[in-house]
């Protein structure tokens, strides 16, 4: 959410930043709501002062025996009491209207984020490894003999409909091994705190991270007051909602391996083959809570943590910075990591790492208290900065392993980094058996 004070001070800069995201100017409507709210608050305060002044005179009029003045003042007090209540109610409505409007406006990109309307304007900033080449024509993951008996879309469709999958046997074990490998790397080498979180959340959690109110069509709501999480970004970030953190305790770095649920609204016809785009999938998510001055460096660190997983698996990838028109709603800067998929002969997204500035923190009321300066009893209060990133999407990483390590007979070699998680197995055979 945006700071109305900052918009008030420089509305032209606010609208110019929104224009870079392809959004229409918002400051005139926001400032009109703000002016209405502030006027109602001023009038309420004036009416309260008048009521208090009249209240002080009531006793004096009674004591002096001036019955007419006493009745006039008593009526004035009652009138002002009703006036204050009405103005406060109107001010509250205006405040809620302003907050609701601010909740639907995307975050502002950093000045150095490249301009552009869509993914075609994203800028590659580095590559690791060379695209895997074969002496045969590589196939997509779902075409390999190794997964013929262990990747079951037909049964999943019978159970749940389209865009669900069922993994069995060795493939399910390989999927689990990937997630465990990611968690172990992040907790034992990257300094993240492993966290187990719910996958059902209340409205407030999704409001805090920006999925509501604007993107409810992308979510799954269950009967009652709960939603299924689209990512553990929601739960991990909201850990600090409503808190004032000691500056010296930061950064907080969390990771969680969870189920994720997305309706994939607006993606009809895209990636319908295989398991690239599913309604239900697993992801190891990373979230950092930092001081404002540390968030830029933290984004670089987080991105390096995600890249490190692919490096250990020896999967080629590239990293791109998203342009203004391709960034997510809550991001100020986003790096996408795209793994090489030989079966598609292209790089595909496997992680997004984003810095949100204080955008989510303002929605969640997540703050920090600065260390007191000399002469101060208490340090100043500031909003924290939040960051999130995939470390990685487990199903997409499984696709990358299957396609980059495939053999001509449809079997799949096991990356060295995963072998300890699979009892030393080095091959997923064409018969779907680990050996």
Q: H or E element: which one contains 163?
A: none
pLDDT category of residue 272 using cuts at 50, 70 and 90: confident
pLDDT of residue 267: 60
pLDDT category of residue 55 using cuts at 50, 70 and 90: confident
User: Please, is 409 exposed, middle or buried when counting C-beta atoms within 10 Å of its C-beta (0-12, 13-18, 19+)?
Assistant: exposed
Q: What is the value of pTM for the model shown?
A: 0.94
**CA distance to 43, 250, 369, per residue, from 373 (Å):** 38, 18, 11
CATH class for domain 119-428? alpha beta
| Both tokens assigned to 304 | 């390096």
Q: What is the mean pLDDT of the chain?
A: 95
**171 or 72, greater pLDDT:** 171
pLDDT of residue 301: 98
Residues assigned a catalytic role: 262, 277, 349, 352, 396
pLDDT of residue 56: 84
Q: Where in the chain is the domain with CATH 3.30.930.10?
A: 119-428
pLDDT digits (tens, 9 = 90+) for 286-300: 999 999 999 999 999
**CA distance to 137, 182, 414, per residue, from 430 (Å):** 17, 26, 13
pLDDT of residue 58: 82
Q: Where in the chain is the domain with CATH 1.10.287.40?
A: 4-103
- Region 379-406: mean pLDDT is 98
Give dist(CA 298, CA 361) in Å, integer.
16
H-assigned helices in 200-272: 203-209, 233-237
Are 80 and 72 in contact by the 8 Å Cβ rule? The answer is no
pLDDT category of residue 266 using cuts at 50, 70 and 90: low
For residue 414, give the 3-state DSSP assignment: coil
Residue matched to tokens 């990636």: 271
Are 243 and 367 in contact by the 8 Å Cβ rule? The answer is yes
pLDDT digits (tens, 9 = 90+) for 91-137: 999 999 999 999 999 999 999 999 999 999 999 999 999 999 999 99
Residue 314 Rama label (left phi>0; alpha psi -120 to 50; beta): left
pLDDT digits (tens, 9 = 90+) for 234-246: 999 999 999 999 9
| Both tokens assigned to 279 | 């309604």
pLDDT of residue 268: 61
Residue 252, beta-bridge partner list = 289
**pLDDT over 80 at 415, yes or no:** yes
Q: Which of 214, 234, 361, 337 is nearest to 285 (CA)?
A: 234
Cα torsion angle, 340, 356, 216, 35, sign: negative
- CATH dotted code for 4-103: 1.10.287.40
pLDDT of residue 77: 86
**End-to-end C-alpha distance for the chain, whole angstroms:** 52
Determine the number of helices (DSSP H) and then strands (DSSP E) in the chain: 11, 18
- Region 8-33: mean pLDDT is 97
**pLDDT over 80 at 59, yes or no:** no
pLDDT of residue 341: 98
Range with lowest mean pLDDT among 17-21, 107-111, 213-217: 213-217
Q: Give me the torsion for CA of 111, 112, 117, 122, rounded to 10°.
A: -160
- Region 226-251: mean pLDDT is 98
């Amino acid at each position: 959410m945006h700071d109305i004070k900052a918009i008030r001070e420089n509305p032209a800069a606010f609208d110019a930043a929104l224009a870079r995201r392809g959004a229409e100017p918002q400051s005139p409507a926001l400032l009109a709501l703000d002016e209405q709210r502030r006027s109602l608050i001023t009038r309420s305060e004036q009416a309260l002062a008048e009521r208090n002044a009249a209240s002080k005179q009531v006793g004096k009029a009674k004591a002096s025996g001036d019955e007419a003045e006493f009745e006039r003042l008593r009526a004035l007090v009652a009138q002002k009491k009703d006036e204050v209540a009405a103005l406060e109610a109107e001010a509250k409505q205006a405040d809620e209207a302003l907050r609701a409007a601010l909740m639907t406006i995307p975050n502002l990109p950093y000045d150095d984020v490249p301009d552009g309307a869509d993914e075609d304007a994203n800028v590659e900033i580095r590559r690791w490894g060379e695209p895997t080449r074969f002496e045969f024509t590589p196939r997509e993951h779902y075409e390999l003999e190794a997964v013929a008996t262990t990747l079951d879309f037909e049964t999943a469709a019978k159970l749940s409909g389209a865009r669900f999958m069922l993994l069995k046997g060795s493939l399910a074990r390989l999927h689990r091994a990937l997630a465990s490998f990611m968690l172990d790397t992040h907790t034992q080498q990257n300094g993240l705190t492993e966290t187990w979180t719910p996958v059902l959340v209340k409205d407030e959690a999704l409001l805090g991270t920006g999925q509501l109110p604007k993107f409810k069509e992308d979510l799954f709501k269950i009967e009652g007051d709960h939603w299924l999480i689209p990512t553990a970004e929601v739960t991990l970030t909201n850990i600090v909602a409503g808190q004032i953190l000691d500056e010296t305790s930061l950064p907080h770095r969390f990771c969680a391996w969870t189920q994720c649920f997305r309706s994939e609204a607006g993606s009809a016809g895209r990636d319908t083959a295989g398991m690239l785009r599913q309604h239900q999938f697993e992801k190891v998510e990373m979230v950092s809570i930092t001081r404002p001055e540390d968030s830029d460096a933290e984004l670089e660190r987080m991105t390096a943590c995600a890249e490190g997983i692919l490096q250990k698996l020896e999967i080629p990838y590239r990293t791109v910075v998203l342009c203004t028109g391709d960034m997510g709603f809550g991001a100020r800067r986003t790096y996408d990591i795209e793994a090489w998929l030989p079966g598609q002969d292209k790089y595909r997204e496997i992680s997004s790492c984003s810095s949100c500035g204080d955008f989510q923190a303002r929605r969640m009321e997540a703050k920090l208290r600065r260390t007191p300066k000399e002469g101060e009893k208490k340090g100043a209060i500031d909003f924290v900065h939040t960051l999130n990133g995939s470390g990685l999407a487990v199903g997409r990483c499984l696709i990358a392993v299957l396609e980059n390590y495939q053999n001509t007979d449809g079997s799949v070699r096991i990356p060295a980094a995963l072998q300890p998680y699979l009892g030393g197995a080095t091959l997923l055979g064409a018969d779907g058996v680990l050996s």
